[in-house]
Amino acid sequence: MCALVSRILLSVIVIDAAFAISTDLGHAFTLECDDFCSCTPMEVESQAFIHFPDETCEVQNLTGYEYRPCYKIPPHFDSDNKIKVFFKFQGDSDGHVRLEDKIGQGYEVVFGSWNNVNTEIRTIHKDKSGEDLKALHQTVGILSPEEFRSFSIEYDKNEKKLEVIELETRQKKLLSWVDGTSFDLRYVSFSGFHSDKIVQVAFNCTATHKSSIMYLTSLAS
């Protein structure tokens, strides 16, 4: 087990008290090296940040299909048994997000699959159906190589429901999936797909103004 632990906030909002706006829009996540989420000292120590008009976020370059490092969720769920994750992608296609429990069960959400044509919800485990694709919605041009696009994923453990929300242009739920089993999702990680292309992900965002698009995670419908 790697002993290095770096405390990181993912999709938690810190704003001026004068805004008087609820901050219950995300969870505190930590980058933690353990037996499930292995990581290198370089991954722990290397952090880069990007500034948007209304947010400041950590940024990573993703190449190939590899989910690392991953972020542990403490506590796993809020009082309503829900998880909300806010992030931004920039790239030609294939921004991947993985939510999973301690035994590798959970979901993969793919933005801009099949050359930036679809958005998909997949399971990362085999269920009784034997199929991993659970929901697909055509979203041509959902990602852009020229700008970051904002999204959130919400999981309700009580309702066993995963929802994918696009915030930047449509500001609505793209697709959802209700499972027969609830999962104790504990980890979040990001990946690209093509080894010769870079997808950037911005996460660990802090809102710097009350007009931040992060507030739409509670308004999208």
Q: Which of 182, 123, 188, 193 is nearest to 156 (CA)?
A: 182
For position 13, what pLDDT does the model report?
33
Which pLDDT belongs to residue 144?
96
At residue 160, φ and ψ (nearest 5 deg) are 60, 40
Mean pLDDT of the chain: 80
For 25, the token pair is: 């829009």
| DSSP H stretches of helix in the chain | 41-45, 113-116
Q: What is the pLDDT of residues 131-159, one digit of tens each?
A: 789 999 999 999 999 999 999 999 999 99
> What are 72-130's pLDDT values in tens digits?
765 555 567 888 888 999 999 999 999 999 888 999 999 999 999 999 999 997 776 66
Q: pTM for the whole thing?
A: 0.82
